[in-house]
Amino acid sequence: MSHSDPTRSAPVLHLANVTRVHGRGAAEVHALRGVDLAVHPGEFVAVMGPSGSGKSTLLTLAGGLDAPSEGEVRVEGVTLGGLGRGRLADLRRRSIGYVFQDYNLIPALTAAENISLPRELDGVSGRTARREALAALEELGILELADRFPDDMSGGQQQRVAIARALIGERRLVLADEPTGALDSATGEAVLAVLRARCDAGAAAMMVTHEATHASWADRVVHLKDGRVASESHGRRTGKRRLGGDPLGAPAGAPAGGLGHADDGAGHAAGGFGEVAR
Ligand SMILES: Nc1ncnc2c1ncn2[C@@H]1O[C@H](COP(=O)(O)OP(=O)(O)O)[C@@H](O)[C@H]1O
Ligand SMILES: [Mg+2]
């Protein structure tokens, strides 16, 4: 595949020495301390770490929802800090799909309307936007929810609508904060397969997760601790790609960089890395 070595292409997301400090003086909290991180086309990065380690802050900075105290965030080569509000909103809508932890669906709009809204704001016709929205709903296995309002859905259904909304259009960067938190394990795996497929088609994704089995869908796992990247491990998928094998077909048990790290229990699932049913 064309992106078999993701490090050769320009990153979709580049966090350069990013620091984020909240509050002042005695109340100062260093949510992130000098994080360097690049995510390339085709790469699926999982972010793990204890509560308060800076995972959500990392994601909001990457999505242009918050600005760093120091350092730079670049998306498709554009430094977000240099953009005015309008251009930042345009870039976010066109280039970034963001799955919020609490979904952030608009209650007055149906599922299909929630999903198609960013496309319509981008000038796509209502008919085309609806067709795209239905395709996204179908990809997530919830086409029957198209005309339902968020209040009439379960948390898991809302979560899948939020994921569909993040995937519509040709967004190059998908950011997701625990996108499977409200899903049962089978549905969660199905959602991860959709994210994986999006990356295999050339997008870049960064996902916060507590589940080592979910991180196993990623090419790379970044472990945060106290606002710093404590370690990075490579998933088997990257290994398979680098070996030139079929990323979906290589046997379980192939050598892995291993998720076997960390204070978050990831080590327990290292052996299960290749067992994720496909
Ligand atoms: N708006 C804020 N104001 C003050 N402190 C914050 C704010 N957002 C996050 N923090 C602090 O920054 C640290 C990292 O938070 P967060 O990124 O939410 O961590 P995680 O998602 O890993 O749990 C925590 O100590 C948190 O309390
Ligand atoms: Mg968080």
* pLDDT tens sequence across 117-154: 999 998 999 999 999 999 999 999 999 999 999 999 99
Q: Is 51 in the pocket of ligand 1 (CB under 6 A)?
A: yes
pLDDT of residue 193: 94
Is pLDDT above 60 for 11? yes
Q: Is 194 in the pocket of ligand 1 (CB under 6 A)?
A: no
* DSSP letters spanning 20-67: EEES-GGG-EEEEEEEEEEE-TT-EEEEE--TTSSHHHHHHHHTTSS-
Q: Is 55 in the pocket of ligand 1 (CB under 6 A)?
A: yes
Is pLDDT above 90 for 111? yes
Average pLDDT over residues 52-78: 97
Distance 183 CA to ligand 2 centre (A): 17
Average pLDDT over residues 200-224: 94
pLDDT of residue 237: 58
Confidence of residue 197 (pLDDT cuts 50, 70, 90): very high
DSSP class of residue 216 equals T
Q: Is 56 in the pocket of ligand 1 (CB under 6 A)?
A: yes
Closest ligand to C-alpha of residue 57 is 1
Q: Is 54 in the pocket of ligand 1 (CB under 6 A)?
A: yes
Average pLDDT over residues 5-28: 88
Pairwise CA distance, residues 180 & 54, whole Å: 19
Distance 207 CA to ligand 1 centre (A): 17
Label residue 185 left, alpha or beta by phi (over 0 means left) and psi (-120 to 50 means alpha). Answer: alpha
CATH number for the segment(s) 6-272: 3.40.50.300
What mean pLDDT is reported for the chain? 85
Asked whether the beta carbons of 224 and 53 are under 8 A apart, the reply is: yes
Q: What sign does the CA torsion over 174, 175, 180, 182 have?
A: negative
| pTM metric for this prediction | 0.83
Using CA positions, which residue lies closest to atom 24 of ligand 1? 52
Extended beta strands in the chain, E state: 13-22, 29-39, 44-48, 70-75, 78-79, 96-99, 173-177, 204-208, 220-225, 228-234
pLDDT of residue 234: 84
Pairwise CA distance, residues 36 & 245, whole Å: 29
**Percent of the chain scoring above 70 in pLDDT:** 81
Is pLDDT above 50 for 274? no
Q: What residue spans define the domains of the chain? A: 6-272
Report the helix count and the strand count for the chain, using DSSP H and E. 8, 10
